[in-house]
Chain A
Amino acid sequence: MKTHPLRHYGVIALLACLLFAPFVAMAVDDPSEMLPDPAQEQRAEAIGSQLRCLVCQNESIEDSSADLARDLRHVVREHVAKGESNRQIMDWMVNRYGNFIRLKPPLTIGTLLLWVMPLLALCIGMGVAWWTFRRPRTVTPTPLTDAERRRLSDLTETR
């Protein structure tokens, strides 16, 4: 029996879908967590990927399987469904867990100081170097005293 070549493509496409499906749904452990509206779900994922899982500390709550991360994902989706802005949700989280929960820290005096520190160190270093190696002011030396002159002629003559 001859099979239509297009049927092979169909099978391949189906296999490809099955193979790559886990990567698409990797963000959440359980599809029931996801919001029914894909646009809202996408927003929730974008917010969640900016929030640190406080248990694993180096993963976002979208990537982490920790219990707390699941709870926070749930909270983010609740707020998104309520129609809150990204800013409002982020502020809600920072209000509870501090800036530490943000994977991308905001520009504050502390972070600014952290970023400009190499430049600052370079400037300080250059300042110190300039101060140390600047040309000495030409000072007219005081004329030799008679005793010094005598000693100098002694020294030069013994050569």
Chain B
Amino acid sequence: MNDQPSSPTRRRLLMAAPLVVAGGIGVGFWRMLSGMTRGSFDPHDIHAPALNRPVPDFALPDQAPGQGFSAQDLRALKSPVLVNYFASWCIPCVAEMPVLNALKERLPIWGIAYKDKPEHALGFVQRAGNPYARIAADRDGLAAIDWGVSGVPETFLIGPGGVIRWHTASPITETMITNTIMPLADSLKS
């Protein structure tokens, strides 16, 4: 048996081991952090327990200029819909409007005005070019708590049967649409 602890190959292997481990950890972190630019990793994200659950019960009044909707409407869906919580007083919501307007032809977007005066929400939607097919108003913000919303904008992708398939608590971006939302929505259609 040639069990010699100080053989040069073994010593070299032992010296390489920490480097390999450090390299592995480095690659892991790099992959995780590069997800920030792709949109697959968001350190500020609050992991919604609502994911893969049916939408919570809610009944909200209509918000002009659209027709409102309830939990039943979402549960009766046959194809995916994006539900977007917004408010006229929310700056990131203004920023995501052009992106939503570009998306509305490919995926229906239903809006919920969060803690907003009806006339303010109406003005905001009209100025933004109305990306919403239907709009409801959550004036006291209590339905939002059932959705697990912690602030606006917050967006949910609802699959057939009203199941929440995806969620983000940050403004929708072009990369999110191409990398995550549309592939997921297309897979839910078939």
21 A-B pairs whose Cβ atoms sit less than 8 Å apart in the complex: A54-B46, A54-B151, A55-B150, A67-B115, A68-B151, A71-B140, A71-B142, A71-B145, A75-B142, A75-B145, A96-B145, A96-B147, A97-B49, A97-B148, A98-B46, A98-B47, A98-B49, A98-B148, A100-B47, A136-B3, A137-B3
CB neighbours (8 Å) of B145 from chain A are: 71-72, 75, 96
CB-CB contacts of B21-55 with A at 8 A, as 1s and 0s? 00000000000000000000000001111100000
CB neighbours (8 Å) of A71 from chain B are: 140-142, 145
Q: Are B46 and A67 in contact (CB under 8 A)?
A: no
Q: Is A94 an interface residue (CB 8 A)?
A: yes
Q: Given the complex of chains A and B, what is the CA–CA distance between A71 and B46 in angstroms?
A: 18
Q: Is A1 an interface residue (CB 8 A)?
A: no
Shortest CB-to-CB span from A77 to chain B, Å, is 13
Cβ-closest chain A residue relative to B14: A132
Q: Is A158 an interface residue (CB 8 A)?
A: no
Interface size on A, residues (CB 8 A): 17
Interface size on B, residues (CB 8 A): 21
Shortest CB-to-CB span from B53 to chain A, Å, is 9
Q: Are A100 and B1 in contact (CB under 8 A)?
A: no
For chain A residues 98-122, which have a beta carbon within 8 Å of chain B?
A: 98, 100
CB-CB contacts of A112-140 with B at 8 A, as 1s and 0s? 00000000000000000000100011010
Q: Is B4 an interface residue (CB 8 A)?
A: yes
CB neighbours (8 Å) of B141 from chain A are: 67-68, 71
Q: Given the complex of chains A and B, what is the CA–CA distance between A55 and B115 in angstroms?
A: 15
Q: Is B8 an interface residue (CB 8 A)?
A: no
CB neighbours (8 Å) of A100 from chain B are: 46-47
Q: Chain A's interface: helix, strand, loop or mixed, by majority?
A: helix
Q: Given the complex of chains A and B, what is the CA–CA distance between A136 and B5 in angstroms?
A: 6
Q: Given the complex of chains A and B, what is the CA–CA distance between A43 and B129 in angstroms?
A: 48
Residues on A lying within 8 angstroms of B by beta carbon are: 54-55, 67-68, 71-72, 75, 94-98, 100, 132, 136-137, 139
CB neighbours (8 Å) of B147 from chain A are: 96
Question: Which of B1, B146, B151 touches A55 (beta carbons < 8 Å)?
Answer: B151
Shortest CB-to-CB span from A125 to chain B, Å, is 11
Cβ-closest chain A residue relative to B2: A139
Q: Which of B46, B48, B142, B146 has the most CB of A within 10 A?
A: B46
Q: Given the complex of chains A and B, what is the CA–CA distance between A109 and B119 in angstroms?
A: 49
Cβ-closest chain B residue relative to A53: B150
Q: Which of B3, B148, B150 has the most CB of A within 10 A?
A: B150
Q: Given the complex of chains A and B, what is the CA–CA distance between A54 and B3 in angstroms?
A: 59
Q: Are A139 and B150 in contact (CB under 8 A)?
A: no
Q: Given the complex of chains A and B, what is the CA–CA distance between A95 and B50 in angstroms?
A: 8
For chain B residues 76-100, which have a beta carbon within 8 Å of chain A?
A: none
Shortest CB-to-CB span from A32 to chain B, Å, is 16
Given contacts A71-B141, A95-B49, 7 further A-B contacts (CB under 8 A): A67-B141, A68-B150, A75-B142, A96-B146, A97-B148, A98-B46, A136-B5
Q: Are A96 and B49 in contact (CB under 8 A)?
A: yes
CB neighbours (8 Å) of A96 from chain B are: 49-50, 145-148
